Amino acid sequence: MEKTLAFTGILSNKAEENPDFFNWNRVELLYCDGASFSGEGQNKAAGLYFRGQRIFEAGMEELMSKGMKNADQALLSGCSAGGLASILHCDEFRGLFPKTTKVKCLSDAGLFLDATDAAGGHTMRNFYAGVVGLHGVVKNLPSTCLSRLDPTSCFFPENLINNIKTPLFLLNAAYDAWQFHQSLFPSSADPHGEWKACKSNPSSCNSTQIQILQDFRMEMLDDVKGFARYDRNGLFINSCFAHCQIERQDTWFADDSPLIGKKKIAESVGDWYFDRRPVKAIDCPYPCDSTCHNQVLK
């Protein structure tokens, strides 16, 4: 666990780096439970106790007592596992505040898809099934989902986002770098390393590999179709190979930040949060976007 964290991007206190949120109270709730703050299980024999939900509640209680209860405006955001947490806890977070408080949620790189991997397997689903089972997550999943689907399916955002009542913004790279490496083409699904060059540089991908990536993008767009119909929700799906873009200054708000329709991520999130305009930004498919800051995950 880091002893210090740089507050950059959406957490920056400088107007030139974070035009809409620089003068807010900003808090980073460190993530350490392994199930997006939703665990409530134990394995006594192994000495394992998972308390993600309690950690989230304790953090919120602490912040409310320090003055968050008096907020006029609040935004629950997170990236990656924290992005999933922002989805899972969005309505719960809304419920902490009076009706008069403006409350919204932002998920960055939290749109993990229930996708088929390169070998035809279900790496991500198997991974999630392990998390949900080990952590006892089922106790904290919404009944609106559990009434029609199994617990593992209800940990995937695609099965949650249409039932969230609080305004939610989904920011995701269409070719999410983490999912590209760990879900679509994990080493277990690529024993001969045929995807190694493609994973380290998208321009090295052959036509078959590009088509698989385009299919992944289309799956993501299909998953957010219903969500996008609600006026209250926001969307920014850029055709980049990235994972987490709100806390990096270069991707959030800089001279050469990624754009969709001449708008940076910070501008798009601000426009949506403050109701300046509706934001449903979907990029054209790779390789059309020259503003990307592509990431190669080690």
The residues annotated with a catalytic role in the active site are 80, 176, 243
Residue 283 to residue 271: CA distance in whole angstroms: 18
Half-sphere exposure of 86 (CA within 13 A, CB side): 27
Contact 26, 68 (CB under 8 A): no
Cβ atoms within 10 Å, residue 225: 9
Residue 53 to residue 51: CA distance in whole angstroms: 6
Q: Which two tokens stand for residue 267?
A: 């501008």
- For residue 186, whether the previous peptide bond is cis, meaning omega lies within 30 degrees of 0, is no
Q: Which two tokens stand for residue 74?
A: 């609040």
Q: 3-class SS at 264?
A: strand
Q: 3-class SS at 192?
A: coil
Question: Which has the closest alpha carbon to 123: 183, 193, 80?
Answer: 183
Question: Which has the closest alpha carbon to 103: 118, 116, 115, 92?
Answer: 92
Beta partners for 42? 49
Instruction: Give 50-114 as a 3 state SS string.
Output: ECHHHHHHHHHHHHHHCCHHHCCEEEEEEECHHHHHHHHCHHHHHCCCCCCCEEEEEEECCCCCC
